[in-house]
Amino acid sequence: MSTSAFVGTVMIDCNDIDTMVRFWSEALGLEEKARYPSYVWLSRLSEKGPALAFQRVPEPRQGKNRIHLDISAEDPEAFAAHVIELGGSKIEDHEVDGFRWSVLADPEGNVFCVSRSGH
């Protein structure tokens, strides 16, 4: 028996699955790969990375999410502006020892971070 495993999908709970699929597809340039009544899978985040998927749930998000995506972008400021155009929001900026990142949120308030590529 093999005990090796890998992360195949990052699943995000949401209330409005169509809004979330549209937001994340456009934000990251991903394609819809599979759709079921309460689930949608997008393409992989990178060639060997996990897929991003969404599960419709009845309850709203409560509190801070305990896991989040860290997104690398060549131009983090332009990416943040694009996120806002798509219906997301910018929460705050941070810097520690010269490393800078921004905390953003998708349309349902799930937070994620963006920093310059290379970190």
With the C-alpha atoms ordered 12, 105, 30, 60, is the resulting torsion angle positive or negative?
positive
34 to 2, 4, 13, 49, 100: CA distances (angstroms): 28, 26, 16, 17, 35
* Same-domain check for residues 48 and 88: no
| Residue pointed to by tokens 């997008």 | 42
* Same-domain check for residues 48 and 84: no
Rg for the chain (alpha carbons), in Å? Answer: 15
Domain extent for 18:
6-58
Whether the pLDDT of residue 109 is over 70: the answer is: yes
The CATH number assigned to the domain holding 118 equals: 3.10.180.10
Domain count along the chain: 2
Residue 1 covered by a domain: no
Residue 78 covered by a domain: yes
Residue 99 covered by a domain: yes
* Same-domain check for residues 38 and 73: no
Residue 106 covered by a domain: yes
Neighbouring CB atoms inside 10 A of 69's CB total: 18
pLDDT (tens digit per residue) in 54-100: 999 999 888 888 899 999 999 999 999 999 999 999 999 999 999 99
* Same-domain check for residues 74 and 118: yes
* Same-domain check for residues 81 and 119: yes
**What would the mean pLDDT of 98-114 be, rounded to a whole number?**
96
41 to 7, 31, 81, 86, 108: CA distances (angstroms): 14, 9, 25, 19, 18
